[in-house]
Structure 1
């Protein structure tokens, strides 16, 4: 319990808050608005942005993918450099915000932006950015991390840099009204696993972090259980806020963290374009069963405090079963068969990618070697 915690992102939460960007971005800044496939033009968000930026000099860049690629983002980097952009406004979900972080960092670097992901370049300066969140899931709107894919090589890697954390984030739950069911479900699963990665590790007596993580898990479980009745303001607001709190740094402060499910899941997304949230649901139950002895105490705690399971020698096992059942209740698969390869070919391919990316000692104990990853994948891929 020794740490320094600081979250500089100012959050504007609630209905009608998009208008606040008028005062958040100085009018003497040249702004690049970055967004995805155009849904913001159908749900009214784009019009609100245009109105809020009426006194600003701005331009736009669209086409950021659900898993943002270096190849697309480098086009935005070129615009920022050529047009002397002073401020980036990301309008979208975690992918757009992650992609905008890459653009902000790469625009202050003369070399290949991929050097940021391979740790060849240390990001110390970046174009300032803000975010308007349209899809709750990743918490990227108020953290310093980003995950980017290099399409050419099917590499999906992460980077963290304090200077790319958004200066502000607008979170208006109304923008969720037009989101497809699949994206909402993915957001629930993503936020759930984010919380688990910082909670299902080892006992630390960090009562605040544990208690807050359990509150988030119970909230997400209730949101998932009430998915059929989701068309109301409270449901949307609670999912949006829970997803933010799951990865704004607070519950992971001063405690061990895992992230092995994410590292393995990223490979499924990069290789076979599995939705990020669904890749996590495929990997996590198998990983927890593989690491059950190391995680038994926290699994038992989760079973008691989140699922209200009865005591017993098999409580940890029943907790994993309950996690898997939660995914199944949302019609999210926990195994993956659509890889177009034989079982062994698929396992070998992912293991080789993990080795290539240096993911050879994962988890809070660095105990998930390639051997353990292979065992996990043998149970997760069918």
Structure 2
């Protein structure tokens, strides 16, 4: 089954962002994102992912020095990375480097949100079933968080195997996140990609995050390319029963598992990219074919899933325990301060009272600080 990945555009390195909301001068877009999603506030409490271990499933190679270049550019500490090869590990094929970009951004985005978390890269040859990799992660018993940016078309037999293994992972405190994909304009709503469609996987869609210096604020809006919809392979889960009553859902979808559950940054536009055709966070990637490295923007739900996984790694590390399947907890917080209303969220991450579950953004994006409060990691005091 062909794997699907994020879109990407290569370019030379533009200037970093300048003036931002609240009269703050941002030194880099990672700091901007961490401030907007209140990840910085969690870090300020001493929770930076230390003690947490995040598994990243990949089907291509990466250059470790590229991660260090990114960390130095955006003022992050050195990442702690282990590569766990399955059946010899991933092998890069052909001149295209999209897969290499995918692996690189996955590692960097987890590291951006949880700079002190341990990152285990499960490197697999293309075509290896997800179920085999999930089983390996379960057997290793090292990780509390799993994130996947690759996706495949649904396969009933393979999906059933994945579901059962993830059920066992959940019992052992492991939480699985998966990007919904970047084919929202063309993919049939009733046929989303695997494994994000599984009821025990947290499906992460994408948003557009724009820093507007003229309006002195950061805004977040729906991204049309983010895959959303419902899967007729699974009936409506109990945890989505209240969400299914939302008037913002298609009537047909109210009988089935709906994705995304939550959303995160997929297209990031700073002052230097507002007039560009494409925004995107910048990543440094070395081509395994030419050996040449360059900076370029990358967009996609593949940016969002590892970032969200990193946010939860800060919570897991602080609690010193895994969370398992978090769907029930997430949906019990619907309309709470733990979620931003994507359509018109501002720098404060304000959630309006009329906020509800929507087809494009699910529960919304995260306020990491309020999520940490909800899980009991941080006392409910004004920050």
When normalised by structure 2's length, the TM-score is 0.30
Q: Which has the larger radius of gyration?
A: 1
In the superposition, the TM-score normalised over structure 1's length comes to: 0.30
Say which structure is richer in helix.
1
| Greater percentage in strand | 2
